[in-house]
Amino acid sequence: MTYYIIIIIANILIGGMIGLTGIAGFLLPILYSGFMGMPTAQALALSFFAFLISGVLGSWNYHKAGNLDLRLAALISIGSLIGAVIGVRLNLLIDEAVVKRILYAVVLLSGISILLRKDQKEDGSKSPDVHAAIESGDASASPVSQNKSKQEARISAPVCIIFGLVTGAVCALSGAGGPVLVMPLLVILGVPIKTAVGVSLFDSIFIAIPSCIGYSMQCDIISMAGVLMVSLISHGIGVFAGSRNTSFIKPELLKKAVAIFSILIAIVKLITG
């Protein structure tokens, strides 16, 4: 009974954090393999089934709230689907400890970059063109549309696909889920924080699908059907609650919390291995 209680509480809490910030999914394989002593394949299979649920529920709620750039998400997900297949296969060939250290080094640098980065809203500066557009009442040239057009011009389709392929491979291989790596990197590229969370959650669906299939084939999925069902239900509850309440958190506060959390976890994992 204690075994199931731990799984339920952990999935509700981690799912809630994923719904709010897009990160924390990487705690699931750590819980399953490190704390509960599950075989790696089983731990990763359970984790990626949960990431599939969190991706679907979370990205849907972010889409309804207007915080999901479908063009950006679709392009990245194309690469991630291919990358995840590669990552699962590489899991059999590469030392997982090496990949995880690389992952957390990237997470650490991403978190630091988010804290140091200043955007237009933070420093209060606007370009002359934006001021002119506001004064003339030209809605098509508003800061939001200006920011969106700049974002689309900056991140081209080939770059998005390659970005998704690389991050998808690393996340599928290491069990990170996706958002913990994808979301901070998108913020660095200039994507608004909540949009970055929504895109990373959508992208995690396409990392999770090949990962669920690949890791399930390496373990007895039938024998863990009960644990899988309990984890999916509790994880779904957490994600749904978290992603429905993002409006209560200011974007700037959310960005700093995500960055600090990423830095702390990365430091702990790099030190402890």
- C-alpha angle 255/260/266, rounded to 5°? 125
Q: Which pTM was predicted? A: 0.77
CA-closest candidate to residue 236, choices 37, 87, 60: 60
Every domain of the chain and the residues it spans: 2-124+154-272
C-alpha to C-alpha distance for 115 and 117, rounded to whole angstroms: 6
Per-residue pLDDT of the chain (273 residues; tens, 9 = 90+): 788 899 999 999 888 888 877 777 777 887 887 778 788 888 889 999 999 998 998 899 889 989 899 999 999 999 999 999 999 998 878 776 777 777 778 778 877 877 876 554 444 444 344 333 333 344 444 444 444 444 444 688 999 999 999 999 988 988 877 888 888 889 888 888 889 989 999 999 999 999 999 999 988 878 888 889 999 999 999 988 887 876 776 667 767 777 787 788 788 878 876
CA-closest candidate to residue 53, choices 242, 220, 263, 246: 242
CA-closest candidate to residue 204, choices 37, 31, 123, 87: 87
Q: Which pLDDT value is given to residue 79?
A: 97
C-alpha to C-alpha distance for 73 and 90, rounded to whole angstroms: 25
C-alpha to C-alpha distance for 170 and 165, rounded to whole angstroms: 9
C-alpha to C-alpha distance for 195 and 209, rounded to whole angstroms: 22
